[in-house]
Structure formats: structure tokens, C-alpha cells
Structure 1
Amino acid sequence: MAGGRTFFGHPWGLATLFGTEMWERFSWYGMRAILATFMAASPARNGLGMSEETAQAVVGVYQALVYLVALPGGWIADRILGPRRSVFWGGFVIMLGHISMAIPVTTPLFVWLGLLLIISGTGLLKPNVSVMVGRLYSEDEDGRRDAGFSLFYLGINLGAFFAPLVVGWLAAGDRWHLGFGAAAVGMAFGLAQYVWGGRSLRGTGERPGLRLSPDERRRFGRLAGLGTGAAVIALGLWALTGTLTIDRFTVVITVIILAVPVAYFGYIMMGGHHLTEDERDRMKAYIWLFIAAAIFWMIYDLAPTKLLFFAERHTDLSLFGVRIQAATTQSFNPLFIMIFVPVFAALWVRLGTRVSTPQKFGFALITVGLSFVVMAIAAGLAGAGRVSVWWLVLVYVIQVFGELSLSPVGLSVTTKLAPEAFKSQMLGVWFIAVSVGDAVGGQTGRLSRVLSDPAYYLVLAALAIAAGVALFMFTRRLRVLMAEHYHAEAIR
């Protein structure tokens, strides 16, 4: 590898995976930037005519399911397809989903089919492309691997930054399906360069880690078939009762998503897994951090719904004298992430162990809460007319400070606190926190029926700030449970 072609000093395979993820994120964030406004637009504007509350609930559940299916997607790669084929087929299914949504017909059938395909494909692609990045390096190359992931995440944010600009411009004037088509083209570019650059991967991820035996494969096929059949029958019977609506369906899915971590943590804590007392203590601490993370994402991931509607309805969409689309505001977040990642990386290195994980999570919750205090002020001012889009710029800057305090340490603390028997499985639990937050955040739109917009933002802000303050108050106790108290004594 030393004499081969390199990508900024890294294996050239990183360039292939960098491009794949960049284009996949282009398709994801591009479609997400117009999805809620498309659903809330009237049929006269070629939209689905949903209420904003229903659109918010649908997008929340959609985002939640994308993160939830990363768990079975990783399992399928480990036991059936292998990461390399999982990434390809995942990307192909994602592309089909965007194509389905781009079909210019009045029936919403192709929209629902497209969302289902995108959810399924992302579950295959998203976890496994990251696995392949890690496997490009040998076991003793921790420093290079970390640097490689930094480049990889740059690709994520580049795709996320440019997608709303391009897709938002194409979808302007109610040309929604043209925007969805651009997302399909983006994924097609990602697939093309993934296949074209396949040689540079040098066999990485070609085989499953532990392939299913023929008996296991048959058993899996039966279970998958029975599960799918049961779900279809249940939905069919529900539809026959005449009570099946989109709103009620999103509530049921949200309840199921909430039940997943409850069942999982119950299984770990009460099952006979020979957990040591220290492992039980660490899991108790992790459950509180999990709840804190879910609250954070509940607010943070309202960007493509509640904040997007605010941009469209209540802001003067002009930056430096240039008119922009409402979808363009979805580019603010990745732009600020790219700007501030080096700053926060240097900050955490300088602070070292003086700032604990609960304190970082607490700071993240308080900042995301403060961002909604700013939104409450902006919403109050918007009652007298449109406000400057710079209010949203300020909100996203504050939120990014919170994300960079919570998101980078989430997987790290998950692996640190996981019991030995659950080390691998627990990596997916972090994404369940995002899933729970997104699903619940989607349902908070119903509060708008009884609360004014300023009151809505203040209620969520108060929840986040209260949770953040609680983490600071109980930091000492959590550090004891996490076995961080020894480090705390050492730095005094």
C-alpha cells in the first residue's frame, strides 16, 4: 500500500467510499430539504395537502426508521451479503426510492413506496460503508484510521451542504418531482463511482463476517416471511376497520420505536448475562445518557420540519441581498459543522478529562434548548410580519455547538460503558437514541394545535434546559457509576 495510489495520504479506497457517502448524503439531505414542504403543499401546488403537524410526524417517523434499520442492515451484512455488496444493493434500492418519488403522478402511492425503499436501502448502506472505511487500515493504524474517518465525515457534510442548494433550486415553483429526481441522480453518481472504484477497495468487505449456515438461512427466510406477512395482515385488518389514518399510523410506529430501547435495556439489565456489578452501574449511567441524547435529537432534528416551515412562512429569504429558497436554510447546519469541527476537536484535546461525558451532554442539551429560546423570540417577532433569515442562522450556529459536544462522544461512551457480552450490539444502540428522538420530535407538532409557536418553542426549550441542568447536578453520581471518578480525583 506504501507505493500505491493514495488519497491525501490514505488508501485510495477511501476516495471511493468518500464519494459514495458524499453522493448518498446528497440524495438523503436533498430530498429531506423539500420533503415536509412537499407533503404540506396543497394538491393545487402538486403537493400531498397534509397539515404541517401531520407532515412533521411523517418526516419524524421516516427519519427514525432510517436510523432504526441500521441494526438489521448491519446484521444482514455480517451474516448474508457482506459489507461490500450491502453498500451496493443499499445504494441501488435508495436510487429506486428516489426515482419512485420523482414520478410525476397525483397518487401518493409512489411517494410511500419511495420512502419505504429509501429506508430499506439506507439501512443496508449507511452502517456498512463506515465499516469498510475502518477495514481499509490495519489494526495498528489507529491514528491514520481516525484521520481517515475525519476525511470521510468531510464527505458527508459536503454532500449535506450542497444538496439543499441544488435540490431546493430545482424544486422551486412547485417542481417537487424535479428535486426528487436530482436526489436519484446523485445516488446514481455515487453508485457509478463505487463500482468504478471497486478495485481500489482490494477485497475489503467482500465476505460476511459469519455467514449463515443453510439451516440458519432457511430459518431466517421463514421468520422474515412470517414477519412481513403478519405486518401486511395487521395493516389490512386495520384498514378494513376504517380507522387507519396517516396520523394514527405515525403514532403506532412511534410507540413501537419507544418500546425497542425499553425492551433492550430491560433484556440487558434483567436477563441472565453474568453482568458484573460494575457493568450494571455503567449501564445505569448509560440509560440516563441515552435519554439525554434522545431529548437532544428530538429538538435538533426538527430542522427539516418545524424550522423549515418557519423559514418558508415567516422569514425574509434573503442573504446578503440574494434571494434563497427555504430549502437553502438546510445547508446552514453542515456548513457550520465543517467550520467548527476543528475548533471543537482542539478544545476537547486541550480540556482532556477535566470535562466529563455527562457535562458535555449537559452542555449540548442547554445549547439546543437556548436555540429554541431564540426561535421563540423569532416566532414572536414574526407575528407582526416576516423576520430576517439571520435568526435561523443564529439558531443553527447554537445548535451546532451542541451537536459537536454530544455527537462525537456518543459512540465512544457507548463502547466504553457497554457490558462485555454486548460490546458489538451496543454500537447500534446509539442510533436508537437518534431514532427515538426523531420519532418523538415528529409527534411534538401536535402541540401546535394548543400552543402558539413561541410557546411551542419555549416548552421544548424548557425540557432540554432542565435535562441539561439535571445532568450537571448529577455529574458526580454519574461519574461514579461510569467509573470516571478515579480520573476526576487525579486531575484535582
Structure 2
Amino acid sequence: MKTKHPKGLPFLFFTEMWERFGYYLILGIFVLYVIEPAGIKGGLGLPDKTADDIFGTYIALTYLTPFIGGFLADRVLGYIKSIYIGGVLMAAGYIGMGVFKDLTLFYSSLALIIIGNGFFKPTISTLLGNLYSEEPYKANKDSGYNIFYMGINIGAFICNIIAAFMRNKFGWGEAFITAGVGMLVGLVIFTIGRKHYLHAATMKPVQEGDTKLSEIMLKVFLPAIIAGIIGWVIPGNIFGSDSTDAFIFACIPVIYFYASLYFKAKPEEKSSIGALLSVFMISMFFWAVFKQNGTALTRWANYYTDRSVPASMEKPLENIYMVDGKSYEDKEVPVYDDQFQSQKDEDGKAVKVQGKDVYFKNITPEQRADLENNPAKKVYLYNTELFQSINPFWVIALTPVIVGFWAMLRKRGKEPLTPTKIVLGLFISALSCLVMVLAVWAGDNGAVKVSPWWLVAGYGVITIGELCLSPMGLSFVSKLSPARITALMMGGFFLANSVGNKLSGILASTWYSYDNKMNYFLVNFALLIFATLLGVSMLKRLNTIMKEKGH
């Protein structure tokens, strides 16, 4: 660590770990909270389709604001100040979600998180890249980002366990507040290690041809707001909902701005910016599928996965996650009851089933007979959000394997270049959709619940793809971005993430349109295969640019 990686890495690692602890804690319980009937456990009681739309818009906006946040960090605020501003705003938003039950204040708290993430996310990634821009660390930049990415996923792994405990023991509000506390812990750690990255946090000097703040505000930010308002107020829905219309309209000026960077670039910068924009485009498809972990895959875990606790584990868990099903005080453990209620959309079609027995709607005949013969029997269930820890668990477990694999190939002179890793990640991610196709087949299209091992396997495959793509994307931006706009281009990477996130919500909202859920996952598979083929068509050019730039 002393020679291969800078001293600031551990502090940025733990800062990001705690920041992601809060962010992913919210994501793990977001849809569950929004669809939870208000009269039973104090949720918002909204339909699944609405929850998917809100979730998709929220995670999309958290990755759209890094565009302006990265620019302000580069030119106005500096990296250190941006991280503090972003962290404080996010902590306030998380705590606000826990304190305020009013829907308007709920949205206001989400707005604080969205703005805060815009300042924090691109800045800390850029700061890490700056530490690796100096010798003797330069050759280990990919490994550094892999390690950093593992920190993200340690936070994402432990947060769902804490969230399950907090919401069962105390309530939804306390779970949200825990996320805010985690963010504040991250800022304390960042402060302790500050001396190790102050030298890498200097703003780039203004150069001729640089984009001015006034130009960003007048030509991008203001048009994006106006376009978003137009998308919201136009009669009817072009893309399915007012929020989706508003988001897509708002993205148009931002996307135009990034495209203009290529046409206005200096000759020596043109190929780098073009390569970055190409990778931004294909990575968008990955996020559109991957981010369904908070919507479609959470729904699969909630309604289609066997979450019953083995008899040998019931007693130890009774006072933690599980209690008598006759009590509905923040409990996840119902008893069998054959009554349930269907909630319908505007067309009269059932969009979800709600009630204490929803879990038992598609159990096996043997399980149903057992419960009917033993009406007083308690049934203990794992919290749905615990399944959100499977992906970060795989990241933690597989990161050393992937890093070691690349290191082995590097020693043999056969390590693929970063663009090749990204395209490989897209293909592997597509295979995870086929795992879920098999899961649907195993459950007879939802007629009976399936083993949780299907989700474990599906997450395992997509995690390998994620490790080939996501940290490599951050490294790619850091390697090829012109120094004067590094944070801005990092914001561009998160813009692609943003568009993909919103697409994930749109895709998830079509869940009930598919009578055969196999077709739902096959559509996701087709999207990733298309992105893979698009990446392959660009690969030769992208690798040539990498070599030309000394990477």
C-alpha cells in the first residue's frame, strides 16, 4: 500500500463507504416504503407503478446533478468544499425523510439528497483520480478504482442489514435517519485524512477556450429547467408520465452541451472526448438494467421469492426481525390469512396485491395445506431489503478475484485495455438476465415461489459484469479527460448513469404489462446484447485512442 497506492486512498475509501451506506440504505427500502399501505405500517401507500416512476426519477436526478456539481467543483468551489457541501446536504435530506411524513416534505428531502449528490459524487471520484496522476501510483489507477469501488459496496452491504433492524425495531423514520448519521460519519473520516489529498485538490487554472460558468447557466442549466417544466405541463404523457417527460426534456440541453464539447474541442483533445462520449452512450444501457435491483428485482424478492426462515433459525431471529404475526407494529411477519385486496390502476387492472397475507398468495399447495391445518402457526420471513445486500456482497467477494485476474494478465502482457473490459462487462451482464428467465421458468411464471438462490446467482453474474464496467468507466474518464474538464467529464459519466437509471424505472413500470415474466427479462437481455454489439463496433477505435494517449 505504501508504494503502490497513495496515503489518501484509505480515507477516501471509508468516506465513500459511509456516503454509499446512506445512499444505498435509502434505495434498499425506498420502493418498499412507498408502496407500504399507510394504515398498516405507516408507508405512503402508492401503487407499484407510481413507486417505480418516483424511484426511477429520483435515482436519475441523483446522477444528473453531478453535471453541474462537477463543473462548479472544477471552476468555482474546489474539490474539498464541494465534498463538504454535498455531504451536509445529503445528511439533511436523509434525516428529513425520517422526520417528515408529509408527501411534499418527503419530496423536498429527496431534492436535498439529489443536489448534495451532485456536489459529492463526481468530486470525490475526481480527487481519487488526481492522487493516481502522480508517480509511482499512475500504473495502479485501475486497481485503485477497483479498491475504491469495493469501499462503496461494503457500505451498500451493511446498510441493508442495519435498515432491516432499524425499521423492524423502531420504524421507517429511524431507518432513514440512520442513513444521515452514516453520511456525517463519512465527513468526519474525510476531515481526518484531509492532509493526504489537499495537494491533489487544487483547481485547474483557467485556459483559453474554457467553458464559462455564465455560459453553463444560460446555455445549459436554465434551458434544462425550462425544458423540464415544458415536459411536465404539456397535455398528456409522451413517455408514460409527467415526471418522465420532464426528465427527458431536461436532458436534451445537457446532452447537447456534451456533444458540443466534442465539436469545440482542441484538435489534440477531440479523440479523447469522442471516446468518452461513446463509452457514456453504451454504459447507459447497463445502468438501465442494473438499477432494476431497487424495483423489478425487489418486487421479485418481495412477491416471488421464498423468504421463509428455516425452523432452526426462527428463535434467534424472533426478537430481531421476526415477531408474532398478529401484531403489525413495524413487523415483517404475518400469519396466514386467506383474505387479500387487489389495488387497481386507472384501467381497472390489478397492479399489486396488498395486505398481510400477500406473501402467501403463491406458496406451494403443501405449504398452504400446512398453514390451513395449523392456523396458529407463526411464519418468519426475511426482510425483503436484505436481498439488496447480495450484489454488494458479490462485489466485496469478487473484487480481489477480478483485480488479481487483471494483475495476472498484466504480468503476462495480456491485460485487455479499459474499453475491452467495459464491453466484456456488458456481455456478462446480459447473461444475468437469462438467469432470471430460468427463475421465472422454475416458478411456473410466478405460480409458486422460487428459491432465493436464483437471485443470488443472478446478482453474482451481473456483479462480474459490473466490476468490468463501472470502476473501469471511472478509470477511463480519469485517464482520457483533458485535465481542465476532468470533473465535468466525470459528471458526463454520471449523466449516462442518470439516463440509464430513469430508463430502469420506465422498464420496471412495464412489469405488469407482461403476462409472461420471461419476456420482461428477455427484453433486458436484448438491450444489453444490443449495447454489447455497439461496443464491439467501436472497440478497435477506442483501444487505438487509449494507446495514442499513453494508456
Question: TM-score w.r.t. structure 1 length?
Answer: 0.81
Determine the C-alpha separation between the residues in 1 that align with 2:198 and 2:483: 30
Determine the C-alpha separation between the residues in 2 that align with 1:138 and 1:414: 13
Q: Does 1:441 align with 2:504?
A: yes
Q: Cα gap change, 1:265/1:36 in structure 2, threshold over 3 Å: closer, same or farther?
A: same
- Which AA in structure 1 matches 2:286? F
Determine the C-alpha separation between the residues in 1 that align with 2:22 and 2:66: 17
Q: Does 1:334 align with 2:334?
A: no
Tell me the SS of whatever aligns to 1:367.
helix
Q: Please, which of 359, 362, 365 is the counterpart of residue 426 of structure 2?
A: 365
Determine the C-alpha separation between the residues in 1 that align with 2:518 and 2:274: 35
8 Å contact kept, 2:228–2:248: no
Q: Does 1:275 align with 2:267?
A: yes
What is the count of residue pairs matched by the alignment?
469
Which residue of the partner structure matches residue 43 of structure 1?
38
Q: Cα gap change, 1:83/1:273 in structure 2, threshold over 3 Å: closer, same or farther?
A: closer
Which residue of the partner structure matches residue 251 of structure 2?
257
Once the 2 structures are TM-superposed, how far is the Cα of residue 210 of structure 1 from its aligned partner? Answer: 4.8
8 Å contact kept, 2:232–2:245: no
Once the 2 structures are TM-superposed, how far is the Cα of residue 97 of structure 1 from its aligned partner? Answer: 0.2
- Which AA in structure 2 matches 1:366? F
Determine the C-alpha separation between the residues in 1 that align with 2:136 and 2:79: 21
1:442-464, Cα deviation, whole Å (9 max, x unpaired): 11123224323222111111222
8 Å contact kept, 1:360–1:406: yes
Q: Does 1:24 align with 2:87?
A: no
Q: Does 1:374 align with 2:435?
A: yes
Q: Please, which of 332, 339, 344 is the counterpart of residue 402 of structure 2?
A: 344
Tell me the SS of whatever aligns to 2:56.
helix
Which residue of the partner structure matches residue 56 of structure 2?
60
Which residue of the partner structure matches residue 389 of structure 1?
452
8 Å contact kept, 1:64–1:439: yes
Determine the C-alpha separation between the residues in 1 that align with 2:503 and 2:476: 23
Once the 2 structures are TM-superposed, how far is the Cα of residue 397 of structure 1 from its aligned partner? Answer: 0.3
Determine the C-alpha separation between the residues in 2 that align with 1:402 and 1:206: 31
Superposition map of 1:174-185 within 5 A: 175-185=171-181
1:105-156, Cα deviation, whole Å (9 max, x unpaired): 2x21121111110111111122223344455678223159746655543332
- Which AA in structure 1 matches 2:529? I
Once the 2 structures are TM-superposed, how far is the Cα of residue 369 of structure 1 from its aligned partner? Answer: 2.0
Q: Cα gap change, 1:222/1:306 in structure 2, threshold over 3 Å: closer, same or farther?
A: closer
Larger CA deviation: 72-81 vs 384-393: 72-81
Tell me the SS of whatever aligns to 1:302.
helix
Larger CA deviation: 439-448 vs 349-358: 349-358
1:345-386, Cα deviation, whole Å (9 max, x unpaired): 232344455746565344322322221222123234152222
1:67-101, Cα deviation, whole Å (9 max, x unpaired): 22223222222333222222122111111101110
Tell me the SS of whatever aligns to 2:26.
helix
Once the 2 structures are TM-superposed, how far is the Cα of residue 434 of structure 1 from its aligned partner? Answer: 1.4
Determine the C-alpha separation between the residues in 2 that align with 1:356 and 1:138: 18
8 Å contact kept, 2:21–2:156: yes
1:186-244, Cα deviation, whole Å (9 max, x unpaired): 1222233444x2664474567644599xxx999699969x949x949985996798999
Q: Does 1:460 align with 2:524?
A: yes
Larger CA deviation: 441-450 vs 390-399: 441-450
Larger CA deviation: 395-404 vs 130-139: 130-139
8 Å contact kept, 2:53–2:506: yes
Matched-pair identity in %: 31
Once the 2 structures are TM-superposed, how far is the Cα of residue 172 of structure 1 from its aligned partner? Answer: 3.5
- Which AA in structure 2 matches 1:185? V
Determine the C-alpha separation between the residues in 2 that align with 1:233 and 1:486: 40
Once the 2 structures are TM-superposed, how far is the Cα of residue 326 of structure 1 from its aligned partner? Answer: 0.9
Which residue of the partner structure matches residue 349 of structure 2?
none
8 Å contact kept, 1:296–1:437: yes
Which residue of the partner structure matches residue 290 of structure 1?
280
- Which AA in structure 2 matches 1:120? I
Once the 2 structures are TM-superposed, how far is the Cα of residue 34 of structure 1 from its aligned partner? Answer: 0.4
8 Å contact kept, 1:372–1:461: yes
Once the 2 structures are TM-superposed, how far is the Cα of residue 410 of structure 1 from its aligned partner? Answer: 1.9
Q: Please, which of 70, 75, 95 is the counterpart of residue 74 of structure 1?
A: 70
8 Å contact kept, 1:169–1:325: no
Superposition map of 1:35-184 within 5 A: 35-44=30-39, 45-105=41-101, 107-134=102-129, 139-142=134-137, 146=141, 151-172=147-168, 175-184=171-180
Q: CA RMSD in A?
A: 4.1
In the alignment, structure 1 segments of 5+ residues that lack a partner are 1-5, 488-492
- Which AA in structure 1 matches 2:58? Y
Higher helix share: 1
Tell me the SS of whatever aligns to 1:316.
coil
Q: Cα gap change, 1:14/1:332 in structure 2, threshold over 3 Å: closer, same or farther?
A: same
Tell me the SS of whatever aligns to 2:447.
coil
Q: Cα gap change, 1:237/1:159 in structure 2, threshold over 3 Å: closer, same or farther?
A: closer
Once the 2 structures are TM-superposed, how far is the Cα of residue 258 of structure 1 from its aligned partner? Answer: 5.8
Determine the C-alpha separation between the residues in 2 that align with 1:457 and 1:334: 21
- Which AA in structure 1 matches 2:267? L
8 Å contact kept, 2:129–2:475: no
Determine the C-alpha separation between the residues in 2 that align with 1:300 and 1:407: 11
Determine the C-alpha separation between the residues in 1 that align with 2:472 and 2:121: 19
8 Å contact kept, 2:36–2:43: yes
Which residue of the partner structure matches residue 490 of structure 1?
none
Question: TM-score w.r.t. structure 2 length?
Answer: 0.73
Determine the C-alpha separation between the residues in 2 that align with 1:367 and 1:252: 33
